[in-house]
Structure 1
Amino acid sequence: MCGRAGLVACSITVALYCFGTCITFLIIIGDQFDRVLASVHGPDFCHYWYMNRMFTIAASSTVVILPLCYSRRIDFLKYVSSLGVVAVVYVVALIIYQKFAGNFVPGTIKTAPDSWTDVFLVVPVICFGYQCHVSVIPIYACMKERTLHNFTWCVSCAIAFCVVIYSLAGTFGYLTFGSNVTSDILESYSGSNPLVLISIVAIAIKTFTTYPILLFCGREAVSVLWTNLFHRNQSDVAVTEKRRRIIIATLWFLLSLVLAIVSPDIGVVIDILGSLAAIFIFVFPGICLLQSTLHKDPYLLLNKDRFAIFASFLFILVGTFIFGVVLVQGSERFSRKSHSMNQICI
């Protein structure tokens, strides 16, 4: 819809977003291993090389994740992803159960932000959680009956499930701890509780099953850049597709693994990814709607097409605004965190 320039720009953005998300997933896996080992062995677990964060992340991800990164089609991951969904349902059930049976004393419960601009602080997390646009195209391509009706039904069910799960976890988790809640809510529960340990393992399983999906999307984006930049003909593409897939997936995995090990803080990463997610949620769909409408009705003779043009401009403006605000706020938080770290070191 947007020509070669739009294709390249979209591919670069998809690759950056998926790569950053993969780093975040590996960091989360390391956090879950640390919690389990600290609860089972004790606080000195990291002194042993085989329980150290560097080893646990590298070993587990190489054994579990890497073999799933070379599939040619994304539907290969549907059974593994189902296991991740079950893991998420268990964690949410635990959060609800602990609200009524955990005997926690919540901190201050806020019902309104201190400033109206604070609303935008939650935008990165919301965009990061609900942003599934990058996997839409390969998933649609693998459907048995590729019709708009079937796809709309699948998307609606998936989004509705996410809304229910996220809302239950966020509401009951905040009501349980109030202002004392941590960014990783499982850290607020005692690691000695077997139910909590199971939930920590469940989150690790969920992350293991999600990483290959994001790598698949990012790998395809890099592959598009590869073929466009080198102007390969179709016969060359067919011959080298398997080799290119293996090379990109392997290098992607190794680089994300190294960065996850040396950068254990995911707060800033999520801020930046949230701003990119705003581009996927608003800007790119708005541009596609604009281009498709103009292609179908270049003179805008129909009222519905005029409304579609208005909606596309609205999407683009809202997405650009959110992207700018979130990026600036994320940069300010990063600057404050770096300043405080320098003061600690001094």
Structure 2
Amino acid sequence: MSASIAPPDAGAPPGTPEPAELAPPTVAKPWHPWRWVISAAALLLLAQFVHGLVTNPGWEWATFARYFTAKSVLASLRVTLELTLWGTALGFLLGTLLAIARLSNNPVLRVISWVYIWAFRSIPMIVQLLFWFNIAYLYQKISLGIPFGPAFFTFDVNNVISGFTAAVIGLALHQAAYSAEIIRAGIISVDAGQLEAAAALGIPRWRQFRTVIVPQAMRSILPNATNEVISLFKGTSIVSVMAIAELFYQVQVIYGRNGRVVPLLMVATVWYIVLTTVLSVAQYYIERHYAKGAQREIPPTPWQKAQRKFREIAAIGVATPRGATR
């Protein structure tokens, strides 16, 4: 017994027209009048603010331009960058060791690292800086040798720990307490199954940490770590209490002589904004690098988006002859 399947229109009488394809429905574009009103009001306020910046004589932009690239300001800016670099490098190095100690199976290391983090997060940074700046009152000499035994080398504290060195020590120790928690949070965010798989493959523990844990943990560490670096960069202004010629201290010295407070403060403000922007751009590209393993396709950068848009506009201009209407 056989059965045949008739075509869908087999039963239709001859001469019946085929059904027309349904046109796609027209979707009405939503209208948001308040959105335009709010946008216009925001742009108006922004225009008023910019107009005040340009026309208000109190800003003294001529004075700002004269001191923005002055030799003393650039020299103090270099000191600020050096403090940030050393504080970040030493702080995150010590913070990594503290984070590993907190995650270790050694109870002594766990307690010591926890107490360190608790103590240095509890003490204000200015107190720590002043303590290290006046460390010679407690210890006039530093000795290296056998614990509770003879000393091999002895150094005069005043000759070893200068104001700049005391500032670096204070910033680095303060930064280490916060970076340790950031790094620890990034490490524990890695799925435990990743370590189990690496151990099942016989990968050594150091290689597991370097090739499995770190690349995945960096995606969680980088945003908070960059915020800490930016905070440290701006926080270097606090070392002005130690009479170190960083950016903010130098600005204070200049406007203390000429009385031009506002334009000199704007010099420091604009330099802080410029260098913070550079750090933010660096953060974007570093995060994009470590996102390769988490996203199948990396989104284009703003520069790549601009290039693509320019090519689209150029292609439209080539496709449309001059004088032709579209």
Please report the TM-score for the alignment, with normalisation by the length of structure 2: 0.26
Structure possessing the higher radius of gyration over alpha carbons: 2
Structure with the bigger percentage of helix: 1
Please report the TM-score for the alignment, with normalisation by the length of structure 1: 0.25
> Larger RCO: Structure 1 or Structure 2 (Cα < 8 Å, ≥ 6 residues apart)?
1
